Amino acid sequence: MTTRVHLGEPGPELEDLGLSAELLNKTLARTVADVRGCTDLDAPAMAGFMFWSRCNRYLAEELIPMGWKHTQRDSILRVIHPSMEFAVTALSGAGGVGDRNALVRSKNPKGPAMARLVENNGQFAFFTPDEVRYGRQLEEMPTWCLLYKRGSKRNGLKSELSLPVKMNGQYVDEWLHRIIWDLPELDDPGSDISLLDDPPSGDEGPEVMVQLRGGN
C-alpha cells in the first residue's frame, strides 16, 4: 500500500467542521446495530451495502436539523455544511484506519465521480444548477471521508475522518488531513462490512447466462 499523508499546517479538529466525537460515535453505533441484524440468508454483500447506506443516512439525520444539506448525486451520499464550504461522505477503509501512524486507503475501488471530487481540477461552468442550489459546484467542495473498518471482536470498529487529495488507480490513498478521535468499544458488526459500499454503477441490467438446448 502506498498511502501518503501530505504534511503541512496543523489540520482542523472535529469542532472546526461543526462535528463532534459524540455525534460520529452515535452514528456509527446505530449503524453497527442495524448491520448485526444481517444473517447468512441475506444477500452476500448486504452487510457492506447496508453499513455504507445507513452510516450516511444516520449522519444526515443528525446533521440536517443543524442546517446541513443532503445530496445523492452520482450515487455519492454526502452531507454539505451550512457554509457550503465542504461535504462529508462515509465509506469503508483499509489498512490502519483509526491509527495515526499507519497507512490507510479506501477499501473498494472508486469510479470517475469520486475521482472528480478528489482531484478537483477547478474547471467549473458559470451558474450551473449546483451553484443555483448550493452556491457553488459540488465538485468544488472539499469532501471529507468518514472511513470505517471492522476490527477485531475485542475492538469491533475502527474509524477516522480524513480529507483525500489524490487517487492512485481506483483507490483513494493520499490524504491532506486525518482526524482521529476516541472511539468507544462498539460491538463487532459481525460481518464483512466492506464487501460493497457503493451501488452498482452503469445502466446495465443483470448478467444472465443462457445455455441453448440443441434441437432438430
Cα-based distances in Å from 186 to 29, 30, 67, 95: 6, 10, 28, 19
| Residue 139 pLDDT | 62
Q: What does the alpha-carbon distance between residue 112 and residue 117 come to, in Å, rounded to a whole number?
A: 9
Q: Is residue 158 within 8 Å of 148, Cβ to Cβ? A: yes
Cβ neighbours of residue 89 closer than 8 Å, sequence gap 6 or more:
56, 76, 77, 78, 79, 143, 144, 145, 146
Contact (Cβ atoms closer than 8 angstroms) between residue 145 and residue 162: yes
Query: What end-to-end distance do the CA atoms of the chain give, in Å?
Result: 57
Q: Which residue has the cell 469491533?
A: 156
Looking at every residue in the chain, the average pLDDT score rounds to 77
Rounded CA gap, 183 and 181, in Å?
A: 6
- If DSSP codes are grouped into helix, strand and coil, which group holds residue 62? helix
* C-alpha cell recorded at residue 180: 482521529
Residue tagged 461543526 (cell numbers): 18
More confident residue, 186 or 91: 91
pTM score:
0.77
Give the closest residue to 148 by CA, choosing from 187, 194, 88, 81: 194
90: helix, coil or strand? strand
Is the pLDDT reported for residue 145 higher than 50? yes
Nine-digit cell at 83? 457554509
Residue 77: pLDDT band (50, 70, 90) is: very high
* Average confidence (pLDDT) over 57-65: 98
* Least trusted range by pLDDT, from 20-34, 85-99, 141-155: 141-155
- Work out the pLDDT band at 19, boundaries 50, 70, 90: very high
